[in-house]
Each structure stands twice: as structure tokens, then as C-alpha cells.
Amino acid sequence: MALESVHAGFPSAAQPDFAGGFSFDEQVTAHPNTTYIVTVAGDSMQGAGIWDGDLLVVDRSLEARHGDVVVAMLDGELTVKRLWLHGGSPVLHAENPAYPDFQPEPLEDLTVWGVVTGSFHPQEGRRLV
């Protein structure tokens, strides 16, 4: 891990020293046995800074709370949305005004699959294969 932060303003002389090894898993996963990486498909969460092709870090051991970005299973299909709880009823909120909120009907099967704890957004032209 680098000893010095990299400034996004004016250039700074970066320290070439490192403080030992770096484990990506230790830095982004509190619960490695229940954490998954999923790829985003679509643009419904752009307002939350989540773009098509991004990688999301999803922890299945966390209990979803109002306002969390979650991966939910709706009638057998996974989707990423913001979870709003209104009077105990879940609402899946898209962070793109082109998409409506979704409140499941009583017979529809909605399960929160996991809570998004982080994301990786590749820089333009540098998509992972």
C-alpha cells in the first residue's frame, strides 16, 4: 500500500515506498466468504454513479436497510436498485428518471440478494475483459 495519497489537483512528488503487501480482498471485503463481485448491465443506476459494465462488491451477509443500494432478485431475475422502505413495504428505486420505481405486488417474489458495499468503475476505454 502506498504511504502517500495521490492528489487529484496539482501534481505531487509521489513516494515510491510501499508499506508491505496489499490485499484487495482485505481492503474491500469485510466478509470474504459472503462477498461477491457482479457486473452491472444497464443504465438504471447512473444517478448513483453506477454505470453499465461496472463491477459491484456485494455482501450477502449484511441486512439491507432503507437507502442501501442492493442487488435484489425479483421473480428469478437479479437487478440493482436503491432500497426504500415505506411502512415496512420495500420499493426498488432506480437512480435514473427514465425508469420507474418498483413496488412488488403481494404475489411477486422479491428477495434482497445482497447489499452493495462498493464499486469499481473502469476508466473510459479501459474496460476489463
Q: Is 44 a catalytic residue?
A: yes
Note every long-range contact of 42-48, with CB atoms under 8 Å and residues 24 or more positions apart, other chains counting: 43/96, 43/98, 44/79, 44/80, 44/81, 44/94, 44/95, 44/96, 44/98, 44/99, 45/69, 45/80, 45/81, 45/82, 45/94, 45/95, 45/96, 46/95, 46/96, 47/95, 47/96, 47/97, 48/82, 48/95
Q: Exactly one of 44, 61, 89, 119 is catalytic; which is it?
A: 44
Q: Is 81 a catalytic residue?
A: yes
Q: Exactly one of 61, 81, 89, 119 is catalytic; which is it?
A: 81
Residues catalogued as catalytic: 44, 81
